Amino acid sequence: MKKIMLLLLASMLLTGCNSEPSDADISQAMQSFMSEMHGTLNSSKKIACKDKESDGSYLCSVEFDAKLPIVGDRASTMELKFIKSDDSWKAMAPSK
């Protein structure tokens, strides 16, 4: 019985490690991404993520409102690549 419980617990933990980024994960990654561009993220909302890529990343559609240098205030929807490193997600422009 103990072995079955341990297997169930392990499978639940592993399933959580292999999931797409949450709305909160995306918001935090976008905050860092905008900071690197010397911008400010006002808000972001995850729309959807595609299936996991072979490199472990996810291509996600994100609706956001930000203030960027030169461009100013901008509200837009775009696809960004999200990859997990250590315990956090990182946003980056998708490679074409």
pLDDT digits (tens, 9 = 90+) for 30-70: 999 999 989 999 999 999 999 999 999 999 999 999 999 99
Question: What is the pLDDT, as a whole number, of residue 94?
Answer: 85
More confident residue, 52 or 15: 52
- Is a pLDDT exceeding 90 seen at residue 18? no
> Secondary structure of 39-84 in the HEC alphabet?
CEEEEEEEEEECCCCCCCCEEEEEEEEEEECCCEEEEEEEEEEEEE
Give the count of beta carbons closer than 10 Å to the beta carbon of residue 40.
14
- Count Cβ atoms within 10 A of the Cβ of residue 64 and give its class: 0-12 exposed, 13-18 middle, 19 or more buried: buried
- Is a pLDDT exceeding 60 seen at residue 9? no
User: 91 by DSSP, 3-state: which?
Assistant: strand
Give domain limits for the chain: 20-92
- Is a pLDDT exceeding 50 seen at residue 8? no
